[in-house]
Amino acid sequence: MGELFIKVIEDVGVDSCVQIITDNAPVCKAAGLIVEAKYPQIFWTPCIVHSLNLALKSIASDVTWIGTVIEDARHIRNFVQNHTNALTIYRDHAASKRVKDTVLDDGWWERVNLSIKIMDPIISLLRFADTDKPILGDIYEGWDSMIESVKTIVMENESPEYGTSAESLWSTIQVILLSRWDKNCTPLHCLAHSLNPKFYSQEWLTAGVGPSPRFPPHMDGEISQGRKLAFRRIYQDKALLYEIEAGFA
């Protein structure tokens, strides 16, 4: 697959390619690394939509009560779709009783509400990223704000329905989100973030989510480090690299 990517890149023109985007499968990662080895200035980037889908699946798997809510909802949906008249409902007494007990359970609806609240920032970012528009410069901030939003929702809506403390629930979800972001983030995201004028404006700097202050990209250590790595891969000429880096000093 890597050789196929290289052939397409060379057909298009190496200077016209900035990145290749694939899903997160190991074979795709291996192909991306082959491309990066031959052309360091071209970045392999895991698909953010696929990464967010995997994060949602992991949350449903690792947070038992959220997984149970989703399974119950699927059962109700399937029951409604498969029982189109009163006679079939009557005959499937066991299934209809389970549906009735579920939909009349106030605690279940509370868990539904909490699940939707927690998942909403993740799904919103997924929908934003699922586009053909150029959004590379917004991805770093999108992940950062999404993670902070989920944390705020979990901590501010602590409920007995969690089955554990808000801190413990957030710890589980945080590990999943950070793991996916670490795999998805590349130096190119940091560079694109640094080149987006929006992130230097006072409006953005003063409109942060949560207690953590916002900093312009050139004052953020993690972003600056990623930007430098991107520059060093893109610009092979040391004199030009020095000139480019000086612009962000």
**Local confidence band at 78 (pLDDT 50, 70, 90 cut-offs):** confident
Q: Is residue 6 part of a domain?
A: yes
14 within a domain of the structure (yes/no)? yes
As a whole number of angstroms, the distance between CA 243 and CA 232 comes to 12
Per-chain mean pLDDT for the chain: 90
- The H or E element that residue 115 is part of is helix 106-129
The domain tally of the chain equals 1
Alpha carbons within 13 A on the beta-carbon side of 3: 0
Q: Which long-range contacts (CB under 8 A, 24 or more apart) does 149-155 make?
A: 149/121, 149/209, 150/118, 150/121, 150/122, 150/177, 151/210, 152/209, 152/210, 153/117, 153/118, 153/120, 153/121, 154/118
Q: Does residue 132 fall inside a structural domain?
A: no
Write down the pTM of the prediction.
Answer: 0.88
- pLDDT (tens digit, 9 = 90+) per residue, 222-235? 999 999 999 999 99
pLDDT of residue 208: 66
Residue 185 lies in a domain: no
* 80 belongs to a structural domain: no
- Domain assignment present for 219: no
In percent, the amount of the chain with pLDDT more than 70 equals 93
Domain range for 19: 1-46
How would you class 216 by CB atoms within 10 Å of its CB: exposed for 0-12, middle for 13-18, buried for 19 or more? middle
Mean pLDDT throughout 199-214? 81
> What pLDDT score does 180 carry?
94
Residue scoring higher pLDDT (22 or 164): 22
Residue 85 burial by CB count (10 A; 0-12/13-18/19+): exposed, middle or buried?
exposed
In a domain, 211, yes or no: no
HEC per residue, 150-163: HHHHHHHCCCHHHC
**158 confidence band (pLDDT: 50, 70, 90):** confident
Asked whether residue 8 is assigned to any structural domain, the reply reads yes
